Structure 1
Amino acid sequence: MIISDFTLKKQLASGELYISPIEERQIQPASIYIRLGNTFGIVEDNCDGILQLEKEIQYKIIQTEKYLLLPGQFVLATTMEYIRLPNNMTAFVEGRSSIGRLGLFIQNAGWVDPGFEGEITLELFNANKCAIELKYGRRIGQLVFAQLDKDALNPYRGKYQGQRGVTGSRIYLDTEISR
């Protein structure tokens, strides 16, 4: 079940759901707006031009109030908000329609597991033929929350728990290999 603004406000007030910083106007009828942070990350160029999933990828981290996202460019960004989900709640990261209409794709992996804590790393891609100026504090997307029928047996305690700022892929830490 999607959680309403009434319940979101109640859970925020009780501390069951934690989001900081947050302003009242971010709370929408069935979601909470998330804002763009001031940290961006781009994959460092490597000499062979191949990203290998088994090796750690290096990122160039940039802190700035404005970032110019060029046509066809991919960048990681972070939210201003630090969140902590209870073990009986999940969230979906959704882009804003107004931004999507400009050709800015907000994420590839938009699921936040129960028990997650940290800032949300966003995957941004400019599909437009023009550059897009990204500004710190701009509403960039929204979190839609859903209640689980019971507490998760194994809430999130993974490799991105507690992340702050842009966090690059940690897929190289995966120990399972499918064949």
Structure 2
Amino acid sequence: MLISHCGIQNLLVQGVVVGARPEAVNAASLDIHLGRYLLEEIPCNSIEGIPPYRVISLSQRDPLTMRKADLEKNGPYRVISLSQRDPLTMRKVDLEKNGPYLLKPGHFILAQSEEMFNLPDNVSAEYKLKSSMARIAIDHANAGWCDAGWHGSVLTLELVNNSRHHAIVLTQGDGIGQMIFFQHEPVPAHASYATKGRYNGDKSTQGIRE
């Protein structure tokens, strides 16, 4: 059963959502706001503290590092494996410290919600992008389902700028989406996300986890 306005207000009172703004409760959804941290995808040779090149010595006759077959096969990309749960190469950005972030056309980030969630075993939820965000070409990966039992976590948001010609300013506290809640029969402990989930207890933006 979809939970509407009064039911969502009760969820806030019960601590199912922590840090939500009272005015964020809509007819059948809760507005979600952009939190402090995000992870931006960067080239794999641009990790902070590591130069994007290898230093070689002419006097030592050092050879270049070359693997022709790999370049032909993979191009200028780092290959990651879903089965190995390899993470993307990403850099953490603090919006509170560094100010607004410029999301450039085609660029991908992981962001976080301002709100924290503690779903009981009889409530599941789903994140939906706000239509105003879609109208300026921000897209969210279709990975917004939150199972009953998910707890102690902010929501990680997978965002991309689909615009061809516009960079988009993202500021901490921006209304970035909405959460809808569903009430159902309690889930048994062995099947609850509280028992088997990978992403409980995430206090900040979280990439893929083993």
TM-score by length of 1: 0.88
Q: Secondary structure at the match of 2:110?
A: strand
Q: Which residue of 1 aligns with 2:149?
A: 115
Instruction: Report the Cα distance in structure 2 between the residues aligned to 1:74 and 1:86, rounded to whole angstroms.
Output: 31
- The alpha carbon displacement at 1:22 in A equals 1.6
Matches within 5 A, 1:2-151: 2-13=2-13, 15=14, 17-46=15-44, 48-53=77-82, 54-57=84-87, 58-64=89-95, 65-117=99-151, 118-129=153-164, 130-148=166-184, 150-151=185-186
- The alpha carbon displacement at 1:30 in A equals 0.1
Instruction: Report the Cα distance in structure 2 between the residues aligned to 1:156 and 1:82, rounded to whole angstroms.
Output: 16
Residues 39 and 77 in structure 1, CA contact (< 8 A), matched pair in contact too: yes
Q: Secondary structure at the match of 2:7?
A: helix
CA RMSD between the two structures = 1.5
Q: Which residue of 2 aligns with 1:177?
A: none
Residues 31 and 179 in structure 2, CA contact (< 8 A), matched pair in contact too: yes
Q: Secondary structure at the match of 1:8?
A: helix
Give deviations 1:78-114, integer Å, cap 9, x for gaps: 0111111110011010000011011001233010010
Instruction: Report the Cα distance in structure 2 between the residues aligned to 1:70 and 1:96, rounded to whole angstroms.
Output: 19
AA matched with 2:119: L
Instruction: Report the Cα distance in structure 1 between the residues aligned to 2:167 and 2:6, rounded to whole angstroms.
Output: 38
Q: Secondary structure at the match of 1:99?
A: helix
Alignment partner of 2:207 out of 168, 172, 175: 168
- The alpha carbon displacement at 1:9 in A equals 1.2
Provide the identity percentage.
31
Count residues with an aligned counterpart. Answer: 168
Q: Which has the higher strand share?
A: 1
Which ranges of structure 2 fall in alignment gaps of 5 or more residues? 46-76
- The alpha carbon displacement at 1:25 in A equals 0.6
TM-score by length of 2: 0.75
Q: Which structure has the greater CA radius of gyration?
A: 2
Give deviations 1:56-97, integer Å, cap 9, x for gaps: 324311112311100001100001111111100110100000
